[in-house]
């Protein structure tokens, strides 16, 4: 009976160890971890709103060696849209040079904004911030 009790306890502890949350570095991988100075957050943005991973899931077009797989193409036709992967983007270039950005909540520091159609996105959404390669306005 003691043996079965010991096995049961071992199973319970093993489940706890296996279900431990991954670290931010493990979770984010090559996207990098978002790091912000809480004292410098924009007004109205709480530290709990800041996304965990720095880079955009669709904007990290590199292979295992870090070599670029594709160039970021300029967008001249639409003011905003929804990517095939379901993320909002918007034009951010007043001179219409085709520059655009991925949009994010919480003044650009929060989660990347998801969509199922261009109708879910709008030009007033904030460009992603945080210093990542995919952040900001470019093409």
DSSP symbol at 22: P
For residues 102 and 127, the answer to whether their CB atoms sit within 8 Å is: yes
CA R_g for the chain: 20
Question: What are the structure tokens assigned to 19, written together?
Answer: 């279900």
pTM for the predicted model, two decimal places: 0.74
Please provide residue 90's backbone torsions phi and psi, each rounded to the nearest 5 degrees: -150, 155
User: Residue 95: what pLDDT?
Assistant: 87
Q: How many CB atoms lie within 10 A of CB 61?
A: 14
Residue 93 or 115, more confident: 115
16-56: pLDDT as tens digits: 444 445 798 898 988 889 999 999 899 999 999 999 999 88
- HEC readout, 35-50: CCCHHHCCCCCCHHHC
pLDDT at 72 over 60: yes
Show the tokens assigned to 81.
Answer: 């849209």
């Amino acid at each position: 009976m003691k043996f079965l009790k010991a096995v049961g306890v071992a199973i319970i502890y093993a489940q706890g160890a296996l279900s431990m949350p991954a670290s931010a570095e493990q979770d984010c991988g090559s996207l990098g971890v978002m790091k912000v100075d809480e004292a410098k957050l924009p007004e109205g943005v709480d530290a709990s709103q800041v996304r965990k991973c720095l880079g955009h899931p669709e904007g990290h077009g590199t292979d295992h060696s870090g070599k670029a797989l594709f160039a970021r193409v300029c967008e001249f036709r639409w003011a905003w849209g929804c990517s095939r992967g379901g993320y909002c983007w918007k034009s951010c270039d007043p001179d219409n040079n085709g520059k655009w950005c991925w949009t994010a909540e919480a003044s650009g520091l929060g989660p990347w904004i998801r969509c199922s159609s261009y109708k879910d996105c709008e030009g007033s959404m904030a460009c992603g911030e945080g210093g990542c390669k995919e952040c900001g306005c470019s093409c």
